[in-house]
Amino acid sequence: MPPRRLIYWDACVFIAWLKDEIRPPGEMDGVVECVDQVESGSVRLVTSVLTRTEVFETNLPQDVKARYSALLGRRNVQTVDNDLRVSDLARQIREFYGAQSKRDGLPGLTPADAIHLATAIHYKADAFYTFDDGKKGGRSLLSLDGNVAGHPLKITKPPVTQYRMKF
């Protein structure tokens, strides 16, 4: 049996899933498909403990919080702490994009974005799923696909291979 892929979810993907956001065609299909893959055990999901803080900043009903907890409680879902290795890598990534910002005029990275990226890199995620396109003031994470401050990392919206039928 081939090793299961390790997928990192940015907090915005969890929030979109929990709120069943209205997004451009196919985006939520990719999220639902990934949840199905997690529930079937075909992928492993990892995220930073910081995600919990970001998710609970939004006002969620108790049943939605329970659904979030149920997903995080699966054996193939891991919430990881921000240890010194991740923190140092996040600092390096922020410094890199801070210097880059002076050259290209684009925003740097927020501390939260740097922690998410550093966590995914440190834990060797096969892919980093996000919807972050920089519209909220930070640098677009999607634009960093393939190279995050010299570290290889696939960054994409959750891909969809099968669209859901809505009636």
Residue 167, domain member (yes or no)? no
With CA atoms as reference, report the closest residue to 26 among 142, 133, 163, 156: 163
CB distance 24 to 56 below 8 Å: no
| % of the chain exceeding 90 in pLDDT | 81
> In this structure, what are the phi and psi dihedrals at residue 144, rounded to the nearest 5 degrees?
-90, 5
For the whole model, what pTM was predicted?
0.92
- Tokens 């090793």, residue located: 3
Measured between alpha carbons, how far apart are the two ends of the chain, in Å?
37
Q: With the CA atoms of 56, 59, 65 and 67 taken in that order, what torsion angle do they form, in degrees rounded to the nearest 10?
A: -110
Domain boundaries, position 133: 5-156
Residue 91, domain member (yes or no)? yes
DSSP code of residue 161: S
How far is the C-alpha of 122 from the C-alpha of 81, rounded, in Å?
12
With CA atoms as reference, report the closest residue to 92 among 115, 71, 73, 72: 115
The domain that holds 17 is classified in CATH as 3.40.50.1010
pLDDT at position 157 over 60:
yes
The pLDDT of residue 3 is: 59
Residue 163, domain member (yes or no)? no
pLDDT digits (tens, 9 = 90+) for 57-71: 878 888 998 999 999
Residue 165, domain member (yes or no)? no
Residue 18, domain member (yes or no)? yes
pLDDT at position 167 over 50:
no
Residues 6+ apart with CB under 8 A from 27: 16, 131, 157, 158, 160
User: What is the pLDDT confidence band of residue 103, given thresholds at 50, 70 and 90?
Assistant: very high
Residue 166, domain member (yes or no)? no
If one counts the domains in the chain, the total is 1
Residue 44, domain member (yes or no)? yes
With CA atoms as reference, report the closest residue to 35 among 52, 50, 18, 49: 18
CA 12 centroid distance within chain: 7
The pLDDT of residue 147 is: 98
